[in-house]
């Protein structure tokens, strides 16, 4: 369908299923086991209600903010996701251009289907912020070499993904036999064992033995701010906010269950935000807290911000925007979200993001947590 007929993020998913190869769709759509966490990621937002206020001048609303010190047009970033060229030949470079045009930040996957040099060259300006996501390899020298490139290319932060010391069991991905050439330019070289699913194959070489101590190694090999991705409990958020961790240059955490692709029945980010508020509220003062997983609407974004998140990430939706439409599709996905965020702010009676707080939501349905 024509791009302007895509009115919300789910429309893009429906179109993507039609235009993608069965293998690409299975890889993007899949999640672990029974897909419970994937479903829950969004239904958790649906359980939170809004508390709109009246008699506020909301002619002008301002969605601008900063993420890890980079100015952005609105509080959404594109998550790292491997293999964007399965969606469209422009791949991660297309996403980079779309992000630049819409004023948002892209996090580039360790397993991108283009080289980081190609992706960074597609930015709209040299100032466009971008994060580099890292899966630490068994052979540390490979990761050290990638970090060197990342520093030299002008990335603005390193995102260390921690929620998949082992890949989840993504059955849809394993069922559809591989028919695509995946050996293209991934930093982790050619892909072995593709028959067990692309997700598992992309994982070969990643170390399962990282501990907090390894942050010292990471600090030695990058000058950039470090963001930890995949935290799922208040205990780990507290650990990340310890002085010795902050001193190593950790500036943010991404609460994430990998879009349901890691532990099935792991909690949705909304629950994690709520337990951090309850048991470790100091985390929000020490670190920027981001969330991803299941974002489909501007209201989801606003609710996450009310609970203390600084920004939210979208994974599959960016890939679905790219599918069939390329750069323009990703731009439209981002525009839809920005407009929905603006509308939600107006309807809440809020004109800047700083105003958003607990008073704008009713979380009673989740209070048992
Ligand atoms: C991912 N994700 C991911 N995360 C990461 O740190 N490195 C990666 O290479 C990938 N690759 C990847 C591929 C695909 C196809 C998907 C769907 C996801 C996880 C991603 O960054 C993010 O956490 C989730 O996608 C967010 O959930 P939604 O928005 O897809 O529901």
Q: Can you read off the two tokens belonging to residue 294?
A: 């299941």
Active site residue 258: yes
Ligand 1 mean position, distance from CA 359 (Å): 31
Residues at CB less than 6 angstroms from ligand 1: 27-28, 41, 79-82, 109-111, 133, 161, 229, 256, 258-259, 261, 292-295, 314-317
Bridge partners of 226?
158, 250
Atom of ligand 1 nearest to the CA of 294: 31
Mean of the per-residue pLDDT values of the chain: 94
pTM (predicted TM-score): 0.96
* 153-175: average pLDDT: 93
Ligand 1 mean position, distance from CA 164 (Å): 11
**Atom 3 of ligand 1, nearest CA residue:** 81
Question: Catalytic: which of 27, 28, 135, 325?
Answer: 135
Atom of ligand 1 nearest to the CA of 319: 15
**Token pair 């995946």: residue:** 182
244: exposed, middle or buried (C-beta count within 10 Å: 0-12, 13-18, 19+)? exposed
Whether residue 331 is predicted with pLDDT greater than 60 in this model: the reply is yes
Ligand 1 mean position, distance from CA 81 (Å): 5
Whether residue 90 is predicted with pLDDT greater than 80 in this model: the reply is yes
**Atom 10 of ligand 1, nearest CA residue:** 81
Cβ contact 275:234 at 8 Å: yes
pLDDT in tens, 9-29: 999 999 999 999 999 999 999
The stretches of 154-196 forming alpha helices (DSSP H) are: 171-175
The DSSP element (H or E) to which 161 belongs, if any, is strand 157-161
Predicted pLDDT of residue 186: 44
Q: Can you read off the two tokens belonging to residue 54?
A: 């009246």
**Atom 12 of ligand 1, nearest CA residue:** 81
Question: At a CB cut-off of 8 Å and minimum separation 6, what does 66 contact?
Answer: 72
pLDDT in tens, 261-302: 999 999 999 999 999 999 999 999 999 999 999 999 999 999
What gap in Å lies between CA 202 and CA 181, rounded to an integer?
A: 13
Ligand 1 mean position, distance from CA 213 (Å): 25
pLDDT in tens, 143-153: 999 999 999 99
- DSSP-derived secondary structure letter, 113: S
Q: What percent of the chain has pLDDT over 90?
A: 89
Read off φ and ψ for residue 10, nearest 5 degrees.
Answer: -65, -35
Question: Catalytic: which of 258, 264, 290, 325?
Answer: 258
Predicted pLDDT of residue 189: 40
Active site residue 367: no
**Atom 15 of ligand 1, nearest CA residue:** 28
Whether residue 231 is predicted with pLDDT greater than 80 in this model: the reply is yes
Q: Can you read off the two tokens belonging to residue 277?
A: 């508020």
Whether residue 58 is predicted with pLDDT greater than 70 in this model: the reply is yes
Question: Catalytic: which of 27, 28, 40, 163?
Answer: 163
Predicted pLDDT of residue 194: 60
**Atom 18 of ligand 1, nearest CA residue:** 81
Predicted pLDDT of residue 192: 53
Ligand 1 mean position, distance from CA 259 (Å): 6
pLDDT band at 54 (very low <50, low <70, confident <90, very high): very high
Predicted pLDDT of residue 181: 52
| C-alpha 331: how far from chain center | 16
What gap in Å lies between CA 291 and CA 309, rounded to an integer?
A: 7
Cβ contact 42:317 at 8 Å: no
Q: To test the ligand 1 pocket, which listed residue (81, 198, 296) has its Cβ within 8 A of the most ligand atoms?
A: 81
Whether residue 46 is predicted with pLDDT greater than 70 in this model: the reply is yes
Predicted pLDDT of residue 122: 98
**Atom 16 of ligand 1, nearest CA residue:** 81
ipTM associated with this complex: 0.99
The stretches of 241-353 forming alpha helices (DSSP H) are: 243-246, 269-279, 283-286, 298-306, 316-322, 327-348
* 118-142: average pLDDT: 97
pLDDT in tens, 170-186: 998 999 976 555 544 44
- The SS3 call for residue 135 is coil
Active site residue 88: no
* 206-227: average pLDDT: 97
Ligand 1 mean position, distance from CA 51 (Å): 31
pLDDT in tens, 60-88: 999 999 999 999 999 999 999 999 999 99
Q: Can you read off the two tokens belonging to residue 356?
A: 């958003």
Predicted pLDDT of residue 197: 85
Ligand 1 mean position, distance from CA 261 (Å): 8
Predicted pLDDT of residue 195: 66
CA proximity to 307, closest of 359, 241, 343, 250: 359
Higher pLDDT, 165 or 131: 131
């Amino acid at each position: 369908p024509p791009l302007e007929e895509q009115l919300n993020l789910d429309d893009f998913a429906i179109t993507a299923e039609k235009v993608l190869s069965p293998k690409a769709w299975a890889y993007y759509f899949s999640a672990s086991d029974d897909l419970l966490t994937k479903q829950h990621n969004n239904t958790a937002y649906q359980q939170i209600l809004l508390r709109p206020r009246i008699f506020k001048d909301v002619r002008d609303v301002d969605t601008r903010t900063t993420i890890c010190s980079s100015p952005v047009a609105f509080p959404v970033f594109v998550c790292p996701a491997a293999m964007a060229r399965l969606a469209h030949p422009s791949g991660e470079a297309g996403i980079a251009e779309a992000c630049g045009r819409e004023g948002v930040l892209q996090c580039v996957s360790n397993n991108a289907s283009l080289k980081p040099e190609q992706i960074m060259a597609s930015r709209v300006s040299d100032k466009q912020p971008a994060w580099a996501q890292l899966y630490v390899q068994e052979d540390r020298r490979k990761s050290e070499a990638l970090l060197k490139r990342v520093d030299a290319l002008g990335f603005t932060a390193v995102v260390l993904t921690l929620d998949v010391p082992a890949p989840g069991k993504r059955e849809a991905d394993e069922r559809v036999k591989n028919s695509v050439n995946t050996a293209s330019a991934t930093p982790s070289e050619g892909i072995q064992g593709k028959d067990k699913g692309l997700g598992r194959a992309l994982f070969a070489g990643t170390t399962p033995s990282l501990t907090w101590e390894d942050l010292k190694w990471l600090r030695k090999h990058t000058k950039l701010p470090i963001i930890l991705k995949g935290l799922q409990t208040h205990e780990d958020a507290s650990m990340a906010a310890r002085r010795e961790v902050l001193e190593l240059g950790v500036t943010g955490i991404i609460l994430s269950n990998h879009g349901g692709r890691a532990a099935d029945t792991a909690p949705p980010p909304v629950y994690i935000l709520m337990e951090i508020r309850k048991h470790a509220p100091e985390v929000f003062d020490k670190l920027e807290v981001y969330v991803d997983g299941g974002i489909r609407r501007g209201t989801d974004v606003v609710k996450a911000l009310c609970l203390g998140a600084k920004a939210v990430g979208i994974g599959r939706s960016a890939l679905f925007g790219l599918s069939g439409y390329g750069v323009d599709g990703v731009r439209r996905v981002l525009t839809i979200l920005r407009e929905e965020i603006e509308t939600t702010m107006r309807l809440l009676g809020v004109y800047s993001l700083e105003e958003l707080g607990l008073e704008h939501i009713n979380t009673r349905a989740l209070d048992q947590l």
